[in-house]
Amino acid sequence: MLEIRDLQAGIEGKEILKGLSLSVPCGEVHAIMGPNGAGKSTLSYVLAGRPGYAVSQGSVTLDGKDLLALSPEERAAAGVFLAFQYPVEIAGVTNMNFLKTALNAVRRARGEGELDAMQMLKLLRGKAKDIGMSEDMLKRAVNVGFSGGEKKRNEVLQMAVLEPRLCVLDETDSGLDIDALRVVAEGVNALRSPDRSMLVITHYQRLLDYIKPDRVHVLAAGRIERSGGPELALELEEKGYGEVKKGRLA
Amino acid sequence: MGAEVVSPSKIDESLISEPYKYGFVTDIETETAPKGLSEETVRYISAKKNEPEWLLQKRLEAYRAWLAMTPPDWAKVSFPPIDYQDAHYYAAPKKKEGPKSLDEVDPELLKTYEKLGIPLREQEILAGVTPSVAVDAVFDSVSVATTYKKVLQEKGVIFCSLSEAIHDHPDLVKKYLGSVVPAHDNFYAALNAAVFTEGSFVYVPKGVRCPMELSTYFRINAANTGQFERTLIIADDGAYVSYLEGCTAPKRDEHQLHAAVVELVAHDRAEIKYATVQNWYPGDENGVGGIYNFVTKRGLCRGVASKISWTQVETGSAITWKYPSCVLQGDGSVGAFYSVAITNNCQQADTGTKMIHLGKNTRSTIISKGISAGRSQATYRGLVKIARTAHGARNKTQCDSLLIGDQCGAHTFPTIEQRDPTARVEHEATTSKVSEEQLFYCQQRGLSAEDAMALIVNGFCREVMQELPMEFAVEAQKLIGLSLEGSVG
Ligand SMILES: Nc1ncnc2c1ncn2[C@@H]1O[C@H](COP(=O)(O)OP(=O)(O)OP(=O)(O)O)[C@@H](O)[C@H]1O
Ligand SMILES: [Mg+2]
């Protein structure tokens, strides 16, 4: 489903991704691990089309469609969802209104017709409940004054509402307490489906205990250095990136 | 995935490709005063309106006062001097007699208001259900229709054009006209007092809560014509009224002057809420054409515990010069100013308020949200004055500016004059930018860049928008989106 070939991309003239290739088949969950500054968030931004990130070479397709040719909102409509490492605050816009505007925008773009106020309210209440978020949070301004964990939970709520085809989760587990981690992971697991793929960026094996990945990749220095099954994450936890990298070279 | 992907921005194209959708001209025969301003002109207007002698004398006094005055030069706006002899001061759609009922209103005019989305046809009143809005429609220099007069009359509420009020309620008009904004107040107020042509009049008697929103809709249609309307609203003891003013004008390459005066009087425990959605033609993206909106609005909280609030959403006009104010005379009276001013392209806005605390324990709140985009300049100018008599007065001012792009400017000039040490005055000001990060976050969730900007800006204005009557809040939100057209990307 997601095909990344020889991707080279950077920001402000600095090359960060240096020939990255990766394919995530339909229905699979792939984990991406790698040291700080390796380019994991950069990859997520390039997939989502963040302005300022320039692609100098390579291709990215989703279901054969050229993602790089689409605007960020067209990618969202095509089903790309990015759970941000650092979710953004929007003062004065309630979570409810934000979700409503976003869902109706993608529904329009997908030719599905908008939901009316009642349908929307019902849907949002249900989804918030699933992810263990109080209705109170729906009435507050988007991420304003949210704790770190609440922000991450809010990302998963948005993901559940927008029903994307490709979920990219950038360190959604960072900053979560043990219980929140479980709830969020359950939320993510509930979204696993044969026609949805996920790219889970994380530093911790702990998350992968809850969200069992089909494949694990190590991203270092702008490239996929190694790929393997779930056991690769355990190996990383034990030996660290340096050792694993050596192991590959040996 | 299957479903075809359509760019959301394409769907809105119809809306966005026409940033000022009120720019059409109504083809209607008009009767116009000869160009130029003189005693003759003043007499012509007064005669056209069949006015009593006392009013003509008031006009002439104002005209003579105006001759000796100079335009204010302290505002942060710039424009070439206006040639006051090069405009018409009266324009009216030709008709035989004033329309007695809606059926007699020129169909061409009814169509115009339909196009503008203003309901001039009364809906049938169902048992027990009162319609929510009554409208007075002013087209160039005359009022063409006022709806739901009967329903209002049953409650004793007078809602009509000022010209009608001059004839039907001369005592009220004589008593209050010019009592809050005297002719010599300032250059534009004097000009208005000399040549005002139309406006709305509202009187809510003692103890009456006006059963619906009252609304006046101003439309400039004729070319080279100034609009000088004058509105007078009086709420007697314990009365309540909520009023909304809307305005649009056709696209024209010349600047047109709009110098209005609004006076509000609130007696003991009365409350007046005055809201404006100002959408005069702002000129094109190079600053050609557009309305000069030089307006004096003032409310007098005359009685104890009376309340006046001004809520304004200013998106139009080439230049805005406007400071809706409250004179808090009655003890315990309350004034409020809630403002959103958006400038884009070459627009200039110098707007704010004055809160004059005279009575004891008077309170005032100021919330101003300025948004500048393009090469525009937005200025907040405010005065909070606490007189020696205003023991225990309170004011809270919050001024926020939002910048879009890096070629625009936002300026804040708050002045505080405090004569009573027991008063408490608080002032807060912030300036921020719409961040690339916020826009991207919204776009990642499926919003087009334009919709993302509109959402963020509406969020920024929320505290003010929630003060608008429900009926108009949605319109105003859309208007904010439209007026930011071209500011992204
Ligand atoms: N605007 C920028 N200008 C220059 N360099 C940048 C910019 N943004 C990111 N970088 C650099 O790109 C590299 C990759 O950053 P990225 O955020 O993708 O790392 P990451 O793998 O997500 O790290 P972490 O695990 O800490 O989140 C880093 O060296 C970073 O400093
Ligand atoms: Mg990162």
Q: Which of B1, B7, B442 sits opposite A71 (nearest CB)?
A: B7
pLDDT, tens digit only, all 489 positions of chain B: 333 333 333 323 333 334 566 666 666 666 777 788 899 989 999 998 899 999 999 999 999 999 999 988 888 888 888 888 888 888 776 654 455 555 666 666 667 666 666 666 655 544 445 556 667 776 665 666 667 777 888 899 999 889 899 999 999 999 999 999 999 999 999 999 999 988 889 999 999 999 888 888 777 666 666 778 899 999 999 999 999 887 666 666 677 788 899 999 999 999 999 998 887 777 778 878 788 888 999 999 999 999 999 999 988 878 888 999 999 999 999 999 999 998 888 888 889 999 999 999 999 999 999 998 888 888 999 999 999 999 999 999 999 999 988 888 889 999 999 998 999 999 999 998 888 999 999 999 999 998 999 999 999 999 999 898 877 787 788 888 877 877 775
Q: pLDDT tens digits, residue range A95-121? A: 999 999 999 999 999 999 999 989 999
Spatial distance between the Cα atoms of B403 and B489, rounded to a whole number of angstroms: 14
Taking contacts as CB-CB distances below 8 angstroms, the residues of chain B near A63 are 1
User: Which residues of chain A are modeled with pLDDT < 50?
Assistant: 249-250
Residue with tokens 């019902």: A122
Determine whether the interchain pair A108/B447 forms a contact, defined as Cβ–Cβ distance below 8 Å.
Answer: no
Token pair 């302005």 in the structure block, residue: A51
Closest Cα of chain A to B460: distance in Å? 6
Six token digits for residue B25: 């001209």
Among candidates A65, A72, A101 on the partner chain, residue whose Cβ is nearest the Cβ of B440: A72
Residue A163 touches chain B, beta carbons under 8 Å? no
Give the list of residues 6+ apart from residue B274 with CB closer than 8 angstroms, or none: B233, B243, B244, B245, B262, B264, B297, B299, B308, B309, B310, B311, B324
* Chosen from A71, A93, A193 to mutate, greatest number of chain B CBs within 10 A: A93
Whether B3 sits inside 8 A of A112 (CB atoms) is yes
Q: Tokens standing for B94?
A: 């030709």
Distance B237 CA to ligand 2 centre (A): 64
How confident is the model at residue B222, as a pLDDT? Answer: 62
Centroid of ligand 2 to alpha carbon of A98 (angstroms): 25
Tell me which amino acid residue A45 is: Y
Predicted TM-score (pTM) of the model is 0.83
Place of tokens 């220099």: B141
Question: Most A CBs within 10 Å: which of B4, B436, B439, B444, as the mutation test of the A interface?
Answer: B444
H/E run at residue A122: helix A117-130
Chain A contact for B13, CB < 8 A?
A: no
Question: What are the b/e assignments for A128-150, b being 16+ CB within 10 Å?
Answer: beebbbeeebbebbbbeebeebb
Closest of B78, B75, B77 to residue B381, by C-alpha: B75
Separation between Cα atoms, residue A241 and residue A237, nearest integer Å = 9
A36 alpha carbon, closest ligand = 1
Q: Is the separation of the CB atoms in A203 and A226 below 8 Å? A: no
Nearest CB to B436 within list A51, A98, A103: A51
Residue B466: Cβ within 10 Å count: 12
As to burial, measured by CB atoms within 10 angstroms (0-12 exposed, 13-18 middle, 19+ buried), residue B210 is: buried
Residue A37 Cα to ligand 1 middle (Å): 5
Q: Which helix (H) or strand (E) holds B41?
A: helix B39-48
Calculate how close chain A gets to B293, using CA atoms only, in Å. 29
A52 chain-B contacts, CB cut-off 8 A: 436
pLDDT at A211: 92
Q: Answer yes or no: do B442 and A90 touch at CB < 8 A.
A: yes
Share of chain A above pLDDT 90, in %: 79
Closest partner residue to B445 among A65, A76, A108, by Cβ?
Answer: A76
A38 C-beta closer than 6 A to ligand 1 = yes
- What's CA B329's distance to the chain center, in Å? 23
Nearest residue of A to residue B460 by CA position?
Answer: A92
User: A164 CB near a chain B CB, below 8 Å?
Assistant: no
Measured CA to CA, the distance from residue B293 to residue B316 in angstroms comes to 9
**Residue A167 to residues A20, A44, A74, A79, B452, Cα–Cα distance (Å):** 19, 10, 15, 8, 21
